[in-house]
Amino acid sequence: MEVTVVGAGVIGLMTALSLEEHGHRVRIVAAATGAQITSAVAGAVWFPYRTGPADKVAGWAARTRAWLEDLARTTPSAGVDVLTGYEITPTSDEPWWSAACELEWVPAPVTGAPGAWRFVAPRCEPAIFMPWLEAQLVATIERRVVLDLAAEAGDVVINCTGLGSRELCDDRELQPIQGQVLITAPGHADLGVSITDDRDPDAIFYVIPRRGELVVGGIARAWTGAEPPQVDDTITQRILRQAAALGIRVGDVHRINTGLRPFRASVRLEREGRIIHNYGHGGAGYTLARGCAEDVVGLLG
């Protein structure tokens, strides 16, 4: 079957790879690639954050985690490492996504936290993983803007345009969510440990190690501006205060990245005639990419 994938973020490329693995002929069309896309600046750690529906997310996330863990074992050059993840929660009630992995409640894992849920957390390093993923494909990427999915060639068209689907599909359920992260030197942080503190949803904090730096965030609030968000110094200072309060001694700030995540209360993964939609993964694109890609393949029949 001849398939056109629209979008070249982690969702689009992973979908294209799964399609090729099942023998389909794939072409990829995307308005942006490389450093210009949201996937390039993501924290890219496995963590089912702000996405749904819960029953499907658990399956997508579990399959993606298994695939990433296997890749970390067999292909270090892909830029995937397995970390120990901690989620600091308001109570010791199990997280809604607990079916996706094994969890253990541990007391006082860091300064100022009464307890946290510990789990295995694969992490992709986007600057390594995304080029690696693209290199696995037979298909090349055609750079151009798509204005009409139905006009694209192929037996089936897969829509993986993320936030672009708000206009392309007139989907008002899809909302831009502001993001801001600091890229810092490792300092004295443990490069094998990822920590998320979501006790205050309006001031979420996380630290995600890469191989030679840290991603420290963050913010996750609806964005209503006409232009993309600019660096907000008050957010930067709040993030650094939270790191210090948790006893995490980050290094010098190298740069600050801002952007918009494609949030939707439920991921849209469904078929409409010859078009299959696969978008709205919010901040969990790397967490759900493989599982969703496999379900897209299943929809081809």
Whole-structure pTM over 0.75, yes or no? yes
Res 145: pLDDT: 95
Res 112: pLDDT: 87
Res 132: pLDDT: 97
Note the CATH number of domain 2-299: 3.50.50.60
pLDDT digits (tens, 9 = 90+) for 24-71: 999 999 998 887 788 988 899 999 988 899 989 999 999 999 999 999
Res 301: pLDDT: 76
- pLDDT less than 50: residues of the chain: none
Res 103: pLDDT: 95
Neighbours of 74 (CB within 10 A): 9
Residue 251 neighbours by CB under 8 Å, 6+ apart: 184, 185, 186, 187, 189, 214
Res 31: pLDDT: 93
Res 118: pLDDT: 97
